[in-house]
Amino acid sequence: MAIENPVYVNECGLPLNAIEWLVTHHRSKLVEREEMIQGLHLKRGGRIVDAGCGPGLWTPLLANAVGPRGHIMGVDLSAEALVTAQQRSQGEWYEHQVSYKQGSMELLPVSYGSIHTIFSANVSQYLPEPVETFAAMGRYLVPGGRLAIKDIDFGTIHFSSVDFALQERVFQARAPWEKQRSL
């Protein structure tokens, strides 16, 4: 989910929800992301909501996982991101499998009990109450459906090939941002 008014920027000054930054970041992690989606063992022919879809970067991975009879609906608050997602899917092999709608994650534009999997990647930092938001999505799942959240916990990350003292300095430098983010 890309928000309209950025709060946090990366080292290049781009908002962390900037489409250009998201595309570059996604490409750099593509192999790991493909493996992660495969590891979800999504239902072939399933109905997926990509909650907070942003510019639709996860769509081809999700479409591949659910196969040609599956359907993915990308939902985001950002009209700009949805236009980009729609343009990205035009003419692609998965185009017939996807639709995009503007909406909030708490009030998805689907019927209750109609979705096999709700997938959400890297959106919790944009949510004022992420636990409540994710809990609200449960009503849209079919019995036995799954909510799959992909995010990062910077408090538990460990770089195995980096000097421990350097790693600690990185986390200390990040601490003020984390504190401000949680306000």
The CB density around residue 82, as the number of other CB atoms within 10 Å, is: 22
Average pLDDT over residues 115-120: 97
pLDDT computed for residue 49 by the predictor = 98
Domain boundaries, the chain: 19-152, 156-183
Q: What would be the CATH architecture of the domain defined by 19-152? A: 3-Layer(aba) Sandwich (3.40)
pLDDT digits (tens, 9 = 90+) for 135-157: 999 999 999 999 999 886 555 55
pLDDT digits (tens, 9 = 90+) for 18-51: 666 666 655 667 678 888 899 999 999 999 999 9
